[in-house]
Amino acid sequence: MALIEAFKRLLGDTAVLTREEDLAAVTEDWRGRYRAPALCAVLPSNTEQVAAVVRLCAESGVPVLPQGGNTSLCGGATPSEQGEPPVIVLLTRMRRIRSLDPVNNTIVVDAGCVLATIQEAAAAAGRLYPVSLGAEGSCQIGGNIATNAGGTGVLRYGNTRDNVLGLEVVLPDGSIWDGLYALRKNNTGYDLKHLFIGSEGTLGIVTGAVLKLHPLPTAEAVAWLAVDNPQKALDVLGLFQASCNSRLSAFELMNAKQIALVLEQVPGRRCPVARIDTWHVLVELSDTGDAEALAATMQAVLEQALEAGMISDGVVAASEAQRKAMWLVRHSVSEANKKAGVGLTSDTAVPVSTVPAFIDQAMAGVRAIVPDLPFIIVGHMGDGNIHLIPFFTFAEWDALTDRDALAQRIRRAMNDVASALRGTFSAEHGVGRTLTSEMVRYKPYAELALMRAVKQAFDPKGLFNPGRVLPPPSPSALPSIVTSQTGD
Ligand code: FAD
């Protein structure tokens, strides 16, 4: 085909993948739930090559799908079954740390840099890039930016949006926007970078970024706590916030089922407290000051929590190895859940104060559909971000008829509760393909209309990651959009 030949002339034969076996890994999502063909995948080495690829696609009217580490949990990075197979643009060869300025506290990177590589480069310069998540060994910064990734450091440092100062983007017409500003102040009209952050590959391809760096903590104190229920976890969170303020850097909640699955599915993991059959909290304090002082603060808060009956047990990591082991348990949840069965994960955020109510009401809503269904519960509780996961074993799931409709009803039950609490159905993973129908149900009409206008302005031919984020407008969808104006 002429387009593929043009790519080969532009990039070289080895940078154009067309064989099924080469495309297998990039046409199936991380969970193995979605699979659809691509025309080919291309591996540009620099921004100019990305721009040339996009121009060729624009001339031929072929869809473009940017892909980073393909760790999306909402089917955002793989082709659609509907429509023309896209050209997948892989940023893998664009992994240069372009520069690091320790005085300005910024790092400039290619979009294909793996998140962990950026964290390491920052640490080597005595700085911290604070976005951290379970997929950090394989997800790319371009994917983090495109999904506005959250993770475990949001409580103190914010999500990806809060840590991006500038972007370089290839636009759908193949032109390059150089917005690589390393500025903390820049009030020169609309701040366009924010449109690309969280746009999930629908407005352009991020090729480079300027990221904020922070001082590297010199002290960390990590504890694993057993609590009786989410309300008690909330009380403990309040205590830490009152006593530690910004030194509180993570506050993660997991239920007993989640811990049991990690121990069962991922070799080498150990529950830090004696009882598994309880709720678990992983809490981290970090500071640039004295390690002993921070450890003493952790101890004092835990004693207070124990006395007040907020926690029933607690273990403070006594060494770097123990600290890492605790975090490994937390970071193993997605792997464990994927191996164990089928989880219909919610990606809910609600006001932090309403997390216990969300958990109770959403579980009741789902159990009205499937009584006695077990739940995995894990989340970044400090941000009000809870993944409530109605869980089926593979055998149970396979035995069901009309699985898609059931999954939709179950998701709805959870998302309706989140919406009633003024929360969101997509806190950190993005909308992808899994949640496009929820956009119509929960987003106010005016918001959707503005988003469609933005999409039209950037990508008038509708070639960039079609079918993701924004559902196609349909007359039958309109009443639902209108009635969702109150957020119900
Ligand atoms: P991909 O999956 O490749 O792509 C995601 C989306 O971004 C797609 O729409 C794609 O088209 C678009 N995209 C990718 N690169 C670009 C680019 N350069 N320009 C424009 N668009 C682009 N997420 C969290 O927020 N918090 C977590 O705690 C978390 N934990 C996870 C744990 C595990 C084990 C796994 C597997 C995933 C987890 N995720 C989490 C989800 C996922 O890792 C993030 O969404 C991540 O940001 C995706 O990065 P990626 O490079 O893999 O992007």
Nearest to 363 by CA among 420, 413, 403, 421: 413
Nearest to 233 by CA among 204, 254, 263: 254
Ligand 1 pocket, mutate which of 429, 465, 470 (most atoms under 8 A from CB): 429
| β-pair type (40-42, 375-380) | unpaired
Determine the pLDDT at residue 479. 36
Nearest to 246 by CA among 329, 377, 156: 156
Give the separation between CA 424 and CA 346, rounded to whole angstroms. Answer: 10
**Crossing angle (nearest 10°) for helices 230-244 and 291-307:** 140
Asked if 127 and 191 count as a contact pair (C-beta separation under 8 A), the reply is: no
For ligand 1, say whether the CB of 160 is within 6 Å of any of its atoms.
no
Residue 17 phi/psi, 5-degree rounding, is -100, 125
Asked if 444 and 414 count as a contact pair (C-beta separation under 8 A), the reply is: no
Fold matches, 97-215 and 341-463+474-488: no
Give the separation between CA 247 and CA 221, rounded to whole angstroms. Answer: 10
Determine the pLDDT at residue 109. 98
Locate the ligand 1 atom nearest the alpha carbon of residue 169 and give its number: 19
- What tens-digit pLDDT sequence spans the chain (488 residues)? 899 999 999 999 999 999 999 999 999 999 898 999 999 999 999 999 999 999 999 999 999 999 999 999 999 999 998 899 999 999 999 999 999 999 999 999 999 999 999 999 999 999 999 999 999 999 999 999 999 999 999 999 999 999 999 999 999 999 999 999 999 999 999 999 999 999 999 999 999 999 999 999 999 999 999 999 999 999 999 999 999 989 999 999 999 999 999 999 999 999 999 999 999 999 999 999 899 999 999 999 999 999 999 999 999 999 999 999 999 999 999 999 999 999 999 999 999 999 999 999 999 999 999 999 999 999 999 999 999 999 999 999 999 999 999 999 999 999 999 999 999 999 999 999 989 999 999 999 999 999 999 999 999 999 999 999 998 766 444 433 333 332 22
3.40.718.10, 3.40.50.150, 3.30.70.2190, 1.10.40.60: CATH of 219-334: 3.30.70.2190
Give the separation between CA 176 and CA 191, rounded to whole angstroms. Answer: 16
Alpha helices in 218-332 (DSSP H): 230-244, 256-265, 291-307, 320-331
Give the separation between CA 119 and CA 114, rounded to whole angstroms. Answer: 9
> How would CATH label the architecture of 2-90?
2-Layer Sandwich (3.30)
Give the separation between CA 480 and CA 477, rounded to whole angstroms. Answer: 6
* 87 Cα: distance to centroid of ligand 1 (angstroms): 18
Locate the ligand 1 atom nearest the alpha carbon of residue 72 and give its number: 2
CA distances from 250 to 52, 222, 293 (A): 42, 9, 18
Nearest to 461 by CA among 170, 168, 57: 57
Give the separation between CA 248 and CA 240, rounded to whole angstroms. Answer: 7
Q: Is the pTM of this model over 0.85?
A: yes
Locate the ligand 1 atom nearest the alpha carbon of residue 145 and give its number: 47
CB atoms within 10 A of CB 101: 14
Asked if 344 and 366 count as a contact pair (C-beta separation under 8 A), the reply is: no
Enclosing H/E stretch for 146: helix 141-147
Determine the pLDDT at residue 474. 61
For ligand 1, say whether the CB of 73 is within 6 Å of any of its atoms.
yes
> How would CATH label the architecture of 341-463+474-488?
2-Layer Sandwich (3.30)
For ligand 1, say whether the CB of 110 is within 6 Å of any of its atoms.
no
* 347 Cα: distance to centroid of ligand 1 (angstroms): 14
Determine the pLDDT at residue 471. 84
Nearest to 213 by CA among 277, 125, 275: 125
Nearest to 160 by CA among 199, 205, 190, 125: 199
* Ramachandran sector of residue 451 (left: φ over 0; alpha: ψ -120 to 50; beta: rest): alpha
Determine the pLDDT at residue 476. 47
Two structure tokens written together for 380: 């970044």
* 439 Cα: distance to centroid of ligand 1 (angstroms): 19
Record: fold of 97-215:
3.30.465
Enclosing H/E stretch for 2: helix 2-11
* 159 Cα: distance to centroid of ligand 1 (angstroms): 13
Domain ranges of the chain: 2-90, 97-215, 219-334, 341-463+474-488
Locate the ligand 1 atom nearest the alpha carbon of residue 144 and give its number: 47
> What amino acid is encoded at 329 in this protein?
V
Determine the pLDDT at residue 122. 98
Residue 331 phi/psi, 5-degree rounding, is -75, -5
Determine the pLDDT at residue 472. 75
Nearest to 428 by CA among 253, 200, 228, 94: 200
CB atoms within 10 A of CB 323: 17
